[in-house]
Structure 1
Amino acid sequence: MAFSLSGCASWSLWPSGGESEAQRVAGMLERGDKHWTLRACGREHDRLLQPTPELRRLFDDVGQPGQQSMFAELEVAEEDGRWIVHKTHRVQSTGRGCMDSSAATSQWVGFSFDPAWRVDITAKGMQLTTEDAESGRQLSMISEQMPDGVLGFRGVHEQGLELWLYPSGCIERSTGDYYHLSATLVRDGQRFKGCGYQGGEI
């Protein structure tokens, strides 16, 4: 089956008045005594947030003892002045948060910190970044989507390079952060496990 990116949710940091369609927002998530709020990246004010049971659990799992705020990327819809969470893309207690623009031009990202590798899927192809001299090249690719939602990307000329993204949550082992996709990199017959997430260029 041919894989199309045109049907994915658009990247948006702030909803317009009266908007109710689902959109992605990223920012600082805070769990208060009575309310949850999210301050979207680049904004000065918090918005009330209605979390899902999954987000409540992930906040406890990812956060350090006593931590009340952390970076999150969520799919939300606006209702009665609040954001209603539909899906959790990322919850991170580490990293650069809103300052991290590394995936701004990527459609999908798969990565691991140990061993260290990263694959960015962009409109131009797939780019593998590792510690060896072969990394950093932009490669032409073939992409596909399976009926169960699995996404696959293969190098056209690099037959030994594949990235597979699975619609199942992933806890990154070295940081404890959450990502909404699990990833597998296949390189020269070897398989490497990691996490993945949707980038900003959709």
Structure 2
Amino acid sequence: MRVARSLAVVALLPLFAACQFFDGPRESASHVGQTRMQGQLSAADGKLLFQPCGEQRRYVVNDTGGTSVLQQAATLADAQGKLFADVRGQIVPGSGDGQLDLEKLYRVERSSNACEDPNFKLLILRAAGHTPEWNVKVSGKGMVVDRAGQPPLAVPYVEEQLGDGRFNLSSEANNQHIELWVAPQRCVDSSTGSIQHMTAELRIDGKVQRGCGYFGGSRDD
């Protein structure tokens, strides 16, 4: 599988002195009491329900963060009315299984197997775009750039914070200048229709390709 192969390649990189390492998910003061969760969204009796991966309980979604999740879910819902969602919020006891006070939406997409993604917890960031196809996977071991018609490129990187939640990752490895610019702005994938919480630009030797991105399980700013 391409993802597994890419992560294996980056594990072999000899130079990680310039990489930005993280010990685990970072939690700011504003996130206290909240949990990042992945699961399934569905509609019942005029309400939106969230069922965490691997659980039977379903929580009524209360969009306390103003994420517009109801409208976004309605846009993407398939014939069965079920979607995968990656969210942050707080479980509140109540009638039935309780309520999810949803504060942040990382992504919503049509998917039947996203809960089983073995690489999600290892990733800091994933970004991707189209025409031509490209994707970047970032972990504590480095950055893997995968572009259509070219072998995966595994490189170390440096992260620079730019303010307002924006940042960029850069590398000068393999005689190429590589940059990934990321900004916290709702982004719709032009091919799949999935909704992600960040825009992304991949710049390699001056050539710019645009797409969307989201934080993996190793980071949940």
**Smaller-chain TM-score bracket:** 0.7 to 0.9
Partners of 1:43 and 1:113 lie apart in 2 by 34
Structure 1 residue 117, shift from structure 2 partner: 1.0
Structure 1 residue 9, shift from structure 2 partner: 3.9
1:128 and 2:136 aligned: no
Aligned-pair Cα RMSD in Å: 2.4
Partners of 2:124 and 2:162 lie apart in 1 by 17
SS state at 2:211 partner = strand
190-199 or 54-63, which deviates more:
54-63
Structure 1 residue 43, shift from structure 2 partner: 1.4
Q: CA 1:75–1:63 in structure 2 vs 1: closer, same or farther (change >3 Å)?
A: same
Partners of 1:90 and 1:43 lie apart in 2 by 20
Structure 1 residue 4, shift from structure 2 partner: 8.4
Alignment counterpart, residue 70 of structure 1, candidates 61, 67, 83:
83
- Compute the TM-score of the two structures, normalised by the length of structure 2: 0.76
Partners of 2:85 and 2:161 lie apart in 1 by 26
- Could you list the runs of 5+ residues in structure 1 that have no partner in the other structure? 11-19
Q: CA 1:7–1:91 in structure 2 vs 1: closer, same or farther (change >3 Å)?
A: closer
Q: Which has the higher contact order (CA 8 A, sep 6+)?
A: 2
Which residue is 1:41 aligned to? 53
- Contact 1:9–1:22 (CA<8 Å) still a contact in 2? no
Structure holding more helix per residue:
2
Alignment counterpart, residue 106 of structure 2, candidates 89, 100, 103:
89
Alignment counterpart, residue 54 of structure 1, candidates 68, 73, 83:
68
- Could you list the runs of 5+ residues in structure 2 that have no partner in the other structure? 1-19
Q: CA 1:187–1:95 in structure 2 vs 1: closer, same or farther (change >3 Å)?
A: farther
Which residue is 1:170 aligned to? 187
- Contact 2:67–2:105 (CA<8 Å) still a contact in 1? no
Structure 1 residue 143, shift from structure 2 partner: 0.4
Partner deviation per Cα, 1:153-187 (whole Å, 9 max, x = no partner): 00143552110111001100111110111110001
1:194 and 2:211 aligned: yes
Which residue is 2:26 aligned to? 8
- Contact 1:25–1:73 (CA<8 Å) still a contact in 2? yes
Percent identity, aligned pairs only, is 24
